[in-house]
Amino acid sequence: MKKIILVAILTFTAFAGAYAQRFAYVDSEYILKHMPEYASSQKQLAALSDQWQKEVDGKFQEIDRLYKAYQADQILMTPDMKKRREAEIVDKEKAAKDFQRQKFGPDGELSQRSTALVKPIQDRVSKAVQAVAESNDIDMMFDKNSEVIMLYANPRFDRSADVITKLGLKPGVLAK
């Protein structure tokens, strides 16, 4: 009887060990900070955003100037002149809002440029993560910075430096 129980325990332990899953995680923010092309893309996007924001601000300042001039001149205007000036202000405001939406909206140029610049970098990181996972026989790899809640992560399971190395970069040197 003792032999049967011992054999059952050893068999269960062997099967449990054979089916054990290996987990690891990476810190995508840490990895991206090491990639010069990511830092460069972020600078390009920031410069574009600043440029377009200045244009938007200029358009709204012009509208504000027109509105103040309209208020000052309103007493001297005929009803027909008032309607034309009001229409001009409304048209300029609509154009400014359209421009703002075209540049900064969900499907705007900034979003499209961001996708075009960052997607190749993300694909490269993804391939490196996959290669590290496969070479280390890891079943599941998590991103420390994603929606998945990770309450604790033992640093020995962090494979971020391996991914950085796989990308041909040096783990200790941050991109500027």
Q: Give per-residue pLDDT as tens, 27-55.
A: 889 899 999 999 999 999 999 999 999 99
Residue whose structure tokens are 């709204």: 60
End-to-end Cα distance, the chain: 68
In the three-class reduction of DSSP (H, G, I as helix; E, B as strand; rest coil), residue 140 is classed as strand
> Per-residue pLDDT averaged across 80-100, rounded?
95
Q: Give per-residue pLDDT as tens, 121-151.
A: 999 998 898 888 888 888 888 888 877 666 4
Instruction: Please report the pLDDT score of residue 5 as a whole number.
Output: 45
Residue 141, strand partner residues: 24
Q: Which of 19-33, 34-48, 84-98 has the lowest mean pLDDT?
A: 19-33
Whole-structure pTM value: 0.69
Instruction: Please report the pLDDT score of residue 37 as a whole number.
Output: 94
Dihedral (C-alpha) 94, 54, 65, 82: value to the nearest 10 degrees? -10
Please report the domains of the chain, with CATH numbers, ordered by start residue.
21-166 (3.30.910.20)
159: pLDDT strictly greater than 50:
yes
In the three-class reduction of DSSP (H, G, I as helix; E, B as strand; rest coil), residue 143 is classed as strand
18: pLDDT strictly greater than 70:
no
Q: Is the torsion defined by CA of 95, 101, 107, 113 positive or negative?
A: positive
Instruction: Please report the pLDDT score of residue 162 as a whole number.
Output: 87
